[in-house]
Amino acid sequence: MLSLQNAIEVLNIPITYSFHNALYDAYYTAEIFKKIYTSSIQPKIYDPSYIKIKPARRKKQIDYDSLIQQFRKMYGRNMTEEEQQIIKLAYKMGKTHQFLK
């Protein structure tokens, strides 16, 4: 389990204060950073107002014509209008994953 105390022990930092105290936990955290610091670590300015904006996902459209064409090919015949509606509905229901066990 990763915890402040485990990190202190692994890094062989002397335990001189109790844990779960804001001041002492901050002290131990500083000691950990002193042990693991390398010159390759570059500081960055923290901007609490920064919000990463993810690009909007393009909504995917189902190509029902190709779906029905695939069934025609698999069964070697045309699908009735009722069969086409059943296929489309089954495809939509399958996308919800509601019947997975």
Count of other CB atoms within 10 angstroms of residue 28: 21
- Predicted pLDDT at 44: 86
Which residue stretches of the chain have pLDDT < 70? 1
CB 23 within 8 A of CB 2: no
- Indicate the pTM of the whole model: 0.43
Instruction: Note the pLDDT tens digit of each residue in 37-54.
Output: 998 988 888 888 888 888
Residue 11's Cα: distance from chain center in Å? Answer: 30
CA distance 77 to 19: 74
